[in-house]
Chain A
Amino acid sequence: MITRIVIATALSALSVSCYANKVDLSIMGGGTLSNSSNRSTVQINNVVTNYYKPSSNNTIGSLAGIGVGHTFENIFNRPFNFSIGLSAYYADLDKVRGTEYPFANGGNFDTLDYQFNVKSSSVMLEPRFIYSHCAWQPYLLAGVGIAWNRLDNYQEQPSNPALSAAPAPFYKSNTRSSFAYEAGIGVQHSLFHDQKHNVDYLASLDYRYMNFGAGRLVNFPGMTSNDYLGVPNINLQALMLSLKASF
């Protein structure tokens, strides 16, 4: 309800301006590259501290979204368009992986390999500046919003099955909200114009950096400290293809 009010207010405020304007509907999708890593030391209780060493490999994921916006054309009588929109994204950042060193403060013990999924759903308020003088129209974008970061399906297994380490009870899945922001650059191109309905169809390709803030897993039974295993900085780089209907 609040979202609807915000959208309606923003669009109505802009629509009363003197510029020619259009309403945009978009669908977006693309691939992501992320390198989110977890906190490394977790105090389990007042005796035991585990060390979680994340692997440094980048992970490939996916990102999808929908958006609604409003475009103001030729602002200040210049070949620039300005659009403001509200977009919702779902990002699957694949898995965070690493090596767990149990009781790292008690000695050098056999390790386990751990992994868990990182997913993020977000809503962004996105302004764009578009240079509209040519057929391929470059643009800059930015965005701020809120992300709901879910860390789930924590698993661990012995790094070497022939050794002594065995899985302990697992961390549990959790969703946590956090401030999110993004910035990017791209180019858009008109595909065709539906004269009957007066709708422009555009495609765009952009690169963007998105930061969804932090996420954390829920502690398992037996863990008595307030420490936790989490990802303090969930971020990704995305190459995004969008299809937009503008009318």
Chain B
Amino acid sequence: MNAIKKLFYINTLMLVVAASSAYAAPVFVVTPSILTDTVNLNGMGVVKYTVTNNTSQTINQITVNPAYQTTGSSLSGTSLQNDSCSNATLASQASCTFQLVFSGAQQTAAVTLSPKICGFNGIFCSVPVLTLRTQVTVVSQASVPNAYFGLSNLGQLQPILTSTNALLPSISGFNFSGGAGIAVSKDGTKVYVANTGLHNMIIYNVTQGTTTTVPLALPLHAAQRERSHTVSALLGGIAVTPDGSKVYITDGSNGIWVYNTSLGQIVANITNPTYLTRPFAIAASPDGAFIYVSSLNIVTTTAGKQQSHRVPAAGYVVAISTATNSITNAVQVGSSGGIAVSPDGSQLYVVGVGPVGHHFRGASSNLLILNTSSLSTVATVSLAGLGATFVAVAPNGNTAYVTDNTQNISVINLATLTHTEIPLTLTPYGIAVTPDGSKAFISSFTGTNIGVLNIGSGAVSYVNVGDSQSTFGSFIG
């Protein structure tokens, strides 16, 4: 009887095989979210895959090899995230998903993604069919930048691919209890993070995936005030010069640290009891000759909770020569927040949030436009929202974007000085525009979403990063 059954079974298989010469199908149907992608040598890419069990049987012990390729060079720096496939059991026609994360480093100019999915602990495997193998172009310049967000409670740095808004693997080891000023070098290879909760700066090497901690000694007066819970050690404004040679960090008291990237050490602490009472945001001029510093009348104590400072800031905007690390000019504008320089370096945009000593949150807002050569006021644009925080300028210099505390982005035409407001479903904080001017990324310390403004259409989408973020600065690169 068994022999008859076996014979029948074999005959059935032979019929199947004979039929399969005319038709064949994947065991696993592997479908990517995108068919083409571009990543720079220092960046990362993410492709989401859906895997469907195309058999009539339930398949278990599924494994995923993200770096498998049938042709071409092996793909380095690959990993999986949001992976519901590995070790999964899939019923017939059921699906699972995973995200393939890959690094642009060490890749050839063109890479084909072909992850291999196996069932039953590897006894049969499938890859995407040729027409569904994502072609990745690796470019040698930072044309596909990442945005970086400091996750306040998780203490992680969260990179996001600006081209697709995909989350890249986060980096642990941070403490953003005093805010998260972030600056990315122009070539996108280094991310400088004001690690405010631990009073140091962390340098994230994007290419190598490593971090370096630079201790920042607390000024004595700041330490005393921190113990009295009236001021944090760092407000965390941070900027890197365009040539990548120096990094400037506000110490939250009355000083600015200067870090020499070649020497790998702090080389100066710029102080001035008159002009640098509450240094906050920093921006570097396009030629790297100056940095500009605002002073905000708030402090950040714990977990991003803000309160007014007992000793008001003097409210100066200061110009500092990067050649001498000395103050070359200063103008008193009142409490100010974000600061940005026009692409041609001629104008400075400063978010004004009221007079000296004014509480910033409920304050009426304006955008001060200063002449960088003299720091004289060119124009003042009154904004609709209250408690404006940060400003970013489009790469073409035509538009400025200002976040405020009333869930708006003000879009300001810098030629006509008119503005419109784009409502948000989050309270925005920092804002930065991609180098190609197509998107603006917006942080928020009141929710787990970030906002992504499509500059062309004015539409805003949201990406859940899992934690609040008090990120500001030039955090795209």
Contacts and interface: CB of A to CB of B under 8 A. Distances in A.
Interface of A: 40-41, 44-45, 47-51, 53, 101-111, 158, 161-169, 220-223
B263 interface: no
A230 to B, nearest CB: 16
Given A107-B54, A161-B70, A161-B130, A51 B24 contact: no
A211 B9 CA distance: 29
Which 8 residue pairs are nearest across A and B when measured between Cβ atoms?
Answer: A164-B26, A162-B130, A108-B20, A106-B55, A222-B121, A166-B125, A102-B124, A164-B126
Nearest to B131: A162
Nearest to B24: A110
A169 B70 contact: no
A108 B22 CA distance: 9
B30 A222 contact: no
A164 B55 contact: no
Nearest to A160: B24
Contacts of B124: 44, 48, 50, 102-103, 168
Given A108-B25, A109-B24, A166-B125, A101 B17 contact: yes
B40 to A, nearest CB: 29
A104 B122 CA distance: 16
B85 to A, nearest CB: 15
Contacts of A102: 27, 124
Contacts of B17: 51, 53, 101, 104
B128 interface: yes
11 contacts: A40-B10, A41-B10, A45-B120, A53-B17, A101-B16, A101-B20, A103-B55, A106-B27, A108-B19, A110-B24, A168-B125
Contacts of A163: 24, 26, 129-130
Nearest to B54: A107
A111 B24 contact: yes
Contacts of A161: 70-71, 130
A169 B118 CA distance: 10
Q: Interface extent on B, as a size class? A: 35 or more
Given A47-B57, A48-B120, A51-B16, A166 B127 contact: yes
A108 B123 CA distance: 16
Contacts of A49: 13
Nearest to B56: A106
Given A51-B17, A106-B56, A107-B54, A221 B121 contact: yes
Contacts of B131: 162
B116 interface: yes
Given A108-B20, A168-B118, 5 more contacts: A47-B58, A110-B24, A110-B26, A163-B24, A165-B126
B98 to A, nearest CB: 16
A166 B10 contact: no
B123 A107 contact: no
Nearest to A106: B55
Nearest to B12: A105
B125 A107 contact: no
B68 interface: yes
B28 interface: yes
Contact of A45 (B26, B30, B123): B123
Interface string B113-150: 00010101111111111110000000000000000000
Contacts of B68: 166
Interface string B26-66: 11111000000000000000000000001111110100000
Contacts of A223: 123
Contacts of A106: 27, 55-57
Contact of B128 (A53, A103, A164): A164
Interface string B441-454: 00000000000000
Residue among A47, A109, A110, A167 with max Cβ neighbours from chain B (10 Å): A109
Contact of A111 (B9, B20, B122): B20
Nearest to A40: B10
Contacts of A222: 61, 120-123
A110 B71 contact: no
B30 to A, nearest CB: 7
Contact of A109 (B9, B25, B127): B25
